Amino acid sequence: MTFKRILKWLGGGALAVVGVLLLGIAFAVVSFNRAAGQVYQIEPPGILATTDSAVVARGRHLAESLGGCLGCHGPDLAGSLVDDLGAIGVMRAPNLTSGTGGVGATYTDGQLARAIRHGIRADGRSLIFMPTPEFNWWSDSDVEAVVSFVRSMAPVDTTIESTVVRPLGKVLSQLGVMELLSAKTVDHSVREAAPVPEATARYGAFLARGCAGCHGETFSGGKIPGAPSTLPIPSNLTPHETGLGSWTKEQFFTLLNTGIRPDGRRLADFMPIATTRAMNETEKSALWAYLRSVEPREFGNR
């Protein structure tokens, strides 16, 4: 075979590989779009907002701490640009108030509750980027509290553009690297009984679901699969020597409250310190108890 023919053969092979790759990308994009358009036949729960001050206060606490709602939707719940993830997409949190452009004007109380528990929009389709597994275990009373808090907020007139998922994000989602369709992240047929809020590892295991999205299912940290290089690399939260092995409870609390490690280094701004700071003593103790109980793993062993 002559050199010219070899080059021609290699060129044809490369074109074939590119063609297969493009077909794979196109298939993933179409599959994602089809999944995003699926309508879930799940009725909204019979949860109604109340103006009871104690219930609203509980809802505010959950929104500020365990739910992290204010971190995305803003302190007035009027929505915000959460993050531009480049080729993956653009995360935006909608206006939750009843003002012009807010979903609060169009969602019923039950539909807000369904969005929290099932990651489903008012029209029955899946929300995108909503971290549903972190709080879908909340009790009916806690979901009621959050809905009541949302309803208590003053109307804000602002329209937030929709979240955008770009082709790479759709491909990564379909490959299972990162699930972006919230309704696909939970089993809608299962309702776990919410544990009693107490300073135990059992309760902490539920709270730690809010950590797993970044720190991994084993909590050992490492680069988030598919994440852009601009995002910081999450730390190891296990009792391993590369993690929290030598930490004290007091040092852990200082980290949650201030974002400062025992060695004086500050965590990256990506870490939601405002959310962890808002946790109460029982919640922080429960999270500490659980993280001390998990299997020690070397950093990055997600």
More confident residue, 37 or 6: 37
Assessment of whether the complete model's pTM goes beyond 0.75? yes
- Tens-digit pLDDT profile for residues 59-103: 999 999 999 999 999 999 999 999 998 899 999 999 999 999 999
Distance in angstroms (rounded) separating the CA atoms of residues 292 and 285: 11
Mean of the pLDDT values across residues 177-195? 90
Q: Is residue 114 part of a domain?
A: yes
What's the confidence (pLDDT) of residue 192? 82
Do 182 and 128 meet the contact criterion of CB atoms below 8 Å apart? Answer: yes
Give the residue from 153, 185, 217 where a domain finishes: 185
Span 254-267, mean pLDDT? Answer: 95
Nearby residues of 193 by Cβ (< 8 Å), 6 or more positions away: none
Is 25 a domain residue?
no
Integer Cα distance of 153 and 96 in angstroms: 9
| Range with the poorest average pLDDT among 43-47, 160-164, 176-180, 274-278 | 176-180
* Residue 19, pLDDT above cutoff 70: no
Q: Which domain holds residue 222?
A: 201-293
Q: How far, in Å, CA of 100 to CA of 103, rounded? A: 9
* pLDDT score of 17: 58
pLDDT given for residue 2 in this prediction: 62
Q: What is the domain-level CATH number for residue 165?
A: 1.10.760
Q: Check whether 3 has a pLDDT greater than 70.
A: no
Hey, what amino acid is at 236? N
Q: Residue written as tokens 């994000």? A: 169
Average pLDDT over residues 43-52: 97
Q: Is 80 helix (H, G, I), strand (E, B) or coil?
A: strand
Mean pLDDT comparison of 13-22, 119-128, 227-236, highest-scoring range: 119-128
Identify the weakest region by mean pLDDT among 137-151, 230-244, 245-259.
230-244
**93 and 173 part of one domain:** yes
Better pLDDT: 19 or 67: 67
Same domain, 256 and 287: yes
| Span 146-156, pLDDT tens digits | 999 999 999 99
Q: Do 111 and 152 lie in a common domain?
A: yes
Mean pLDDT of the chain: 91
Residues 214, 175: one domain? Answer: no
Say what the pLDDT of residue 196 is. Answer: 92
Same domain, 274 and 211: yes
**Residues 63, 69, 71, 76: is their CA dihedral positive or negative?**
negative
With respect to residue 274, please indicate whether it lies within any of the assigned structural domains: yes
Q: Does 277 score more than 70 pLDDT? A: yes
Tell me: the pLDDT tens digits for 118-138? Answer: 999 999 999 999 999 999 999
In percent, the amount of the chain with pLDDT more than 70 equals 92
Same domain, 57 and 143: yes
Average pLDDT over residues 262-276: 92
In a domain, 43, yes or no: no
| pLDDT band at 20; cut points 50, 70, 90 | low
Which helix (DSSP H) or strand (DSSP E) does residue 290 occupy? helix 281-293
How many domains would you assign to the chain?
A: 2
Which pair of tokens denotes residue 77? 């719940």
